[in-house]
């Protein structure tokens, strides 16, 4: 190779190397660990950016910006985003402390496999009504689990219109009650897919409690009745499905039973809608408490 060509090659190669180094130094730190390791995951990047703003790591502390970024990542169902957003509400970091929101976010994070979320719930006031932060309310009405590949989905889809019920709510209850085991029996003798106790089965004319269709029909009839009784309030209806409508009225909201409180959280993690259409004419009276009348 001629000398002048070799010199030119060295200059070009060195220039490219320097260009690459200069541009690499301009790449935000949050992206460097993703480059050359794995495709950039948008939610992970958003959370990394949020943590920088939350902890003032290389940028001025900005809790509002951190929450905005956490929310965007949480909308994608990223467990670390849900957990980090819950941490901010649990500690009043840049926002008024709200255990109800924190519990809901930690519950959602735990459902998605976050290892520390359940631990955090133990330190919070779980009697406070679970709720989503404002930034996630817009997706609440469309945030449901896809049950299309679950057992009994086709049967629920067929029967739900007869009872004017959202099949996703029915599937959420079956998932939490029995994990789709039609032979399930609880320590309180609740039986079948929708865990009907014998008195409820008799009340709604269920003869074979372990028959999938009969059990689902009985559970749907009871759920429809509860929604009418509580004027479409899903939270109260679900709490009553677990503890009975009398307990919900007595305590003017979700009863202070650990089992019932955890049950409501599990349902809400799968079914986010807070209201449901109801048929007022199927009950003789309405609950003492009704939608938006309890804390």
Question: For residue 233, what are the β-bridge partners?
Answer: 275
CB 133 within 8 A of CB 264: no
CA angle, residues 137, 143, 147, in degrees to nearest 5:
165
Q: Is 205 exposed, middle or buried (0-12, 13-18, 19+ CB in 10 A)?
A: exposed
The token duo for 215 is 């059990």
The answer to whether 180 and 151 are in contact (CB under 8 A) is yes
Q: Are 249 and 115 in contact (CB under 8 A)?
A: no
Which residue from 237, 261, 230 is spatially nearest to 129, judged by alpha carbons? Answer: 261
- Neighbouring-strand partners of residue 144: 271
Nearest partner of 58 among 22, 76, 32, judged by Cα = 32
Which residue among 54, 80, 131, 177 is the active-site one? 177
d(CA 83, CA 73): 11
State how far the Cα of 64 lies from the Cα of 86, in Å rounded to an integer. 14
Query: How many whole angstroms separate alpha carbon 122 and alpha carbon 29?
Result: 34
Residue 213 annotated as catalytic: no
Please identify every residue annotated as catalytic.
177
């Amino acid at each position: 190779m001629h000398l002048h060509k070799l010199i030119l090659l060295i200059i070009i190669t060195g220039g490219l190397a320097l260009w690459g180094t200069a541009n690499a130094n301009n790449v935000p730190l949050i992206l460097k660990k993703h480059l050359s390791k794995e495709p950039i995951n948008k939610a992970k990047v958003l959370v990394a950016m949020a943590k920088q703003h939350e902890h003032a790591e290389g940028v001025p502390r900005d809790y509002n910006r951190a929450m905005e970024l956490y929310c965007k990542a949480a909308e994608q169902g990223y467990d670390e985003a849900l957990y980090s957003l819950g941490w901010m509400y649990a500690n009043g970091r840049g926002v008024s402390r709200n255990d109800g929101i924190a519990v809901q976010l930690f519950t959602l994070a735990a459902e998605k496999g976050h290892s520390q979320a359940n631990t955090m719930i133990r330190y919070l006031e779980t009697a406070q009504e679970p709720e989503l932060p404002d930034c996630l309310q817009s997706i609440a009405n469309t945030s449901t689990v896809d049950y299309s590949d679950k057992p009994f989905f086709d049967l629920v889809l067929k029967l739900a219109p007869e009872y004017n019920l959202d099949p996703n709510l029915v599937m959420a209850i079956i998932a939490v009650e029995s994990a789709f085991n039609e032979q399930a029996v609880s320590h309180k003798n609740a039986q079948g897919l929708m865990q009907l106790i014998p008195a409820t089965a008799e009340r709604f004319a269920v003869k074979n409690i372990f028959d999938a269709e009969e059990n689902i029909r009985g559970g749907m009839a009871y759920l429809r009745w509860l929604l009418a009784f509580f004027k479409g309030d899903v939270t109260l209806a679900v709490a009553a499905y677990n503890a009975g409508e009398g307990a919900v009225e007595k305590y003017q909201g979700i009863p202070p039973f650990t089992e019932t409180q955890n049950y409501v959280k599990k349902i809400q993690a799968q079914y986010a809608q807070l209201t449901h259409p109801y048929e007022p004419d199927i009950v003789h009276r309405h609950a003492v408490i009704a939608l938006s009348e309890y804390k």
